[in-house]
Amino acid sequence: MAQKYILNKGRIILARVDYHRQIVSDHTDTVGGGFWEIKDDKLYLFGKSMDFGSPYIEDVKEAIMPQYKFGGIEVYFTDRLSNELTEDIIKASVRVK
């Protein structure tokens, strides 16, 4: 299992699954996904879903902003491909405000 996320119905959904399609049953409104990691009180969203592709940063912003109440964690996004967080990904990530 891996730490994966999808953007579905305007929300970001984090899960530990084998496949992105396992996160929810109705993917009519899924606009992409990837992997997630929390490091040093920062949430990193990176890579892309093999099922749904990588979301656009605008979609990530729309999904994050209403949920940005979770403990003040900063959110960073990149479509850089990898299934594990590396210093490369951290450097390539853009803060979602």
Give the C-alpha separation, 93 to 80, whole Å: 8
* CATH code, domain with 56: 3.50.20.20
Strand 2-8 and strand 30-39: the pairing is antiparallel
Q: Is the pTM of this model over 0.95?
A: no
pLDDT of residue 95: 86
Long-range CB contacts for residues 51-60, cutoff 8 Å, separation at least 24 = 51/19, 51/20, 51/21, 52/6, 52/20, 52/21, 52/27, 54/79, 55/7, 55/31, 56/31, 56/32, 57/94, 57/96, 59/7, 59/31, 59/32, 60/7, 60/12, 60/96
Q: How many domains does the chain have?
A: 1
pLDDT of residue 49: 94
In the chain (97 residues long), the average pLDDT of successive 10-residue segments reads 94 94 94 93 91 91 69 82 81 83
Find where tokens 């929390």 sit.
Answer: 38
Structural domain for 36, as ranges: 2-96
Question: Which two structure tokens, joined as six digits, stand for 31?
Answer: 């606009």
